[in-house]
Structure 1
Amino acid sequence: MFRPEGIYVAMLTPFKEGKVNETVLRQVVEFQIQRGVHGLFPVSSCGEFIQMDFAEKIRTMEIVVDQAAGRVPVTPGVTAPNPNESIALAKEAKRAGCSGVVICPPYFLPISQETIERHFELLADNVDIPVILYNIPAFTTPITYDVVKRLSRRENIVAMKDSSGSVVDMVHFMDKVRAIGMQDKFNFLIGREDGLFPALMMGGKGCMTACAGIVPEILVGIWDSYHKGEFEKAKELQFSFLNLLRAMNALPFPVGFKLALELRGFEMGEPMQPLSHAEKYNYVNVRSRLEKIMGALLGDYKVDLDQLMKK
């Protein structure tokens, strides 16, 4: 059974005139694979899946799978307000050749833990594809430790992306799964890039984050250093991009992240959610900060797209 492990990209989506920009999406996929990431997570939260209709989500999966061409696993998001839509998306992901799917609790309306658990069970029961749970308290109802423990017993629920940002929560999630002997079949990945190295030290199996696709050199570097036992180097790399992260978060999510990827050479398009006048003013300031930070962090950070697509 497939289980995600390593540096996975929570992919940002390039748009043009309100639609997914296939040309740029293929460039982004190629860039991230060539820079050493281990997997791709399109139709993600930072990828603005909520701004995409059903057909665009499916097309995005197909483009990413086609461009990846089997080099890395593709695990798209299938989150929806109701289980029927999530099941339909997951079946399309299976048809497209994806390795697994990622799902967080239904969004917007308040929801009980019992309903969250049943939502995930219905998906697992109705699709023949590995399922990755996604805990993201900033945008949906948090998943409790015991719900994760019970769901980890299911054969095709294989991992969890935890974006709580809490080391305490991560440790308790892991402990609950360990208590029932499922730790070897259920992987934990962190959803907050600023905690990757600590997560690895605690037994985490990697990350699913936006920064993995913006500065893959850094995130892959942390992973490689950790696995070589070069912990001091991994720690320094972990600290190295926090200023970049803070600058990106100075704009409404995920505008700052898309701006950083735009500065690397990818035409990400206008924000799907219009910015206020004050935010537009701040956008200019953040752009200047990001240019300086990325220059200090990576040196020549601009990607040669022509050379990229020739490889």
Structure 2
Amino acid sequence: MFSGSIPALVTPFRDGAFDESAFRKLVDWQIENGSSGLVPCGTTGENSTLSNAEHHRVIEVCVEQAAGRVPVIAGCGSNDTMNALLHMNFSKKSGAAAALVVAPYYNRPSQDGLLAHFSYLAEHSDLPILLYNVPGRTVTDLQPETVCELARRFPRTFIGIKDASADLSRVTDHRMGIGKHFAQLSGDDELALPFNAAGGVGCISVTANVAPKLCAEFQAACAANDLELARELNDKLYPLHYAMFEDSSPGPCKYALARVHPWLSNELRLPLVPCGEKARIAVDAALEHAGLL
């Protein structure tokens, strides 16, 4: 269902509020530059600092502005199963194509708890779910056995995974345990090349916020098995992948976007603050390396 370069969109703020006008421009720019889908309200979208009303408005605006040109995968994760279901129900009504649901964070459920959490969501909503595993942030690790079991129990619901575990062997685990129809998307930009080589079909990307055209071209080269071009584009993007995490994300990403687009504010919500000088230097150098400045 999903493949290619899919940005995990930042949520623009201005004077503390959601900057809807800037977000609409960002959505249009992403689609015009080849992004194959959009993810509002993911980690990069600072979803943990949004009220439910704001969360839902961001999703609603994204679906409205995309206007069917590309699918919208709405960030619906929560460490509260009922709140995740609330987000999913709203996203379904708004016209989202799927929900991106992260493994519950902070409360650290067991694998049985994860099975129960995701099974409940599948049983109470017919919106397709893209699993999201990012143990570096959640501490909880969605093991391949659990992913395969969910796909076996609910094959029409669990249609893929955003894997940010940094364990490339899992691409093969999932492919052999579920099948090629299960969309495997990298959650780590810097690992997208070997991830795709192992059987992945794209990336839910931080870097694509800033470099959508290059990221889309890179994914297209991978899909065409043009390894030489994929390497060339990956080398161009590689410093930017790392610069995006020189400080707490999405600080460097918002700084980079403000450098590229004056209509985007470099504003974050507490407890996040704008990135420091070291990160700004790294971002500027990476933007120049990629030919974006």
Give the TM interval when normalised to the shorter protein. over 0.9
Local SS of the residue matching 1:76: strand
Letter in 1 for 2:61: I
Could you say if the C-alpha distance between residues 127 and 242 of structure 1 is closer, same or farther in structure 2, counting changes exceeding 3 Å? same
- Give 1:252 shift: 1.6
1:290 maps onto 2:283 in alignment: yes
Task: Provide the residue aligned with 1:166 in structure 2.
Answer: 167
SS at match of 2:70: coil
Amino acid of the residue matched to residue 227 of structure 1?
A: A
Residue 77 of structure 2 contacts residue 102 of structure 2 at CA under 8 Å; is this kept in 1? yes
Task: Identify the residue that residue 57 of structure 1 maps to in structure 2.
Answer: 55
Instruction: Find the residue that maps to 1:63 and give its secondary structure.
Output: helix
* Contact preservation (8 Å) 1:13, 1:20: yes
- Tell me: CA distance 1:250–1:295, structure 2 relative to 1, closer, same or farther (3 Å): same
- Where do residues 171-190 of structure 1 align in structure 2 (5 Å cutoff)? 171-177=172-178, 183-190=179-186
Residues 42 and 76 in structure 1, CA contact (< 8 A), matched pair in contact too: yes
The structure that has the greater radius of gyration is: 1
Return the alpha-carbon distance in structure 2 between the equivalents of residues 15 and 172 of structure 1.
40
Query: Please, what TM-score do these two structures have when normalized by structure 2?
Result: 0.93
Q: Secondary structure at the match of 2:192?
A: helix
Residue 240 (structure 2) aligns with = 244
TM-score scaled by length of structure 1: 0.88
Which of 264, 267, 273 is residue 264 of structure 2 equivalent to? 267
SS in 1 for 2:185: strand
CA spacing shift, 1:275–1:121, aligned 2, 3 Å: closer
Match of 1:221 in 2: 217
Match of 1:87 in 2: 85
Determine if contact 1:43/1:77 at 8 Å carries over to the other structure.
yes
Give 1:257's aligned residue: 253
- How far did residue 64 of structure 1 move? 0.5
What displacement does 1:275 show? 6.2
Confirm whether residue 70 of structure 1 aligns to residue 105 of structure 2: no
Code of the aligned partner of 1:267: L
Give me the CA root mean square deviation. 1.7
Larger mean CA deviation between 33-42 and 233-242 belongs to 233-242
2: CA distance, partners of 1:259 / 1:269: 5
Conservation of the 8 A alpha-carbon contact between 1:42 and 1:61? yes
Q: Please give the alpha-carbon distance, in whole angstroms, between the structure 2 residues aligned to 1:184 and 1:126.
A: 26
| 1:121-171 deviation line (CA, Å, top 9, x unaligned) | 111111121111000111110101111011112121111110112212333
For residue 72 of structure 2, give the secondary structure of its aligned residue in structure 1.
coil
Contact 2:98 2:129 in 1 (8 A): yes
Match of 2:227 in 1: 231
Letter in 1 for 2:36: H
Once the two structures are TM-superposed, the CA of residue 296 in structure 1 deviates from its matched residue by 3.2
Which amino acid counterpart does residue 201 of structure 2 have in structure 1? K
The range that moved more, 70-79 or 149-158, is: 149-158
Greater displacement, 245-254 / 43-52: 245-254
Measure the CA separation in 1 of the matches of 2:117 and 2:127.
Answer: 16
Q: Secondary structure at the match of 2:114?
A: helix
Question: Could you tell me the percent identity over the aligned residues?
Answer: 28
Equivalent of 2:25, from 27, 37, 42? 27
* Counterpart AA for 2:288: G
**Inter-partner Cα distance in structure 1 for 2:232 and 2:167:** 21
The one-letter amino acid paired with 2:96 is C
| Shift, 1:195, TM fit | 1.5
The offset of 1:285, in angstroms, is 4.2
* Alignment partners' CA distance in 2, 1:105 and 1:204: 20
* 1:149 aligned onto 2:148: yes
Structure 2: how far apart are the matches of 1:79 and 1:248?
A: 22
- The runs of 5 or more residues in structure 2 that have no matched partner are none
The alpha carbon displacement at 1:203 in A equals 1.4
- CA–CA distance in 2 between the matches of 1:293 and 1:132? 31
State the alpha-carbon separation in 1 of the partners of residues 289 and 144 from structure 2: 41
Q: Contact 2:56 / 2:87 at 8 angstroms: preserved in 1?
A: yes
- Cα distance in 2, alignment partners of residues 268 and 133 from structure 1: 31
Q: Check conservation: 1:13, 1:268, Cα contact below 8 A.
A: no
Q: How far apart in 1 are the matches of 2:53 and 2:266?
A: 20
Tell me, in whole angstroms, the C-alpha distance in 2 between the residues paired with 1:91 and 1:294. Answer: 39
- 2: distance between equivalents of 1:148 and 1:293? 35
The count of residues paired between Structure 1 and Structure 2 equals 289
In 2, the alpha carbon distance for the partners of 1:185 and 1:121 equals 20
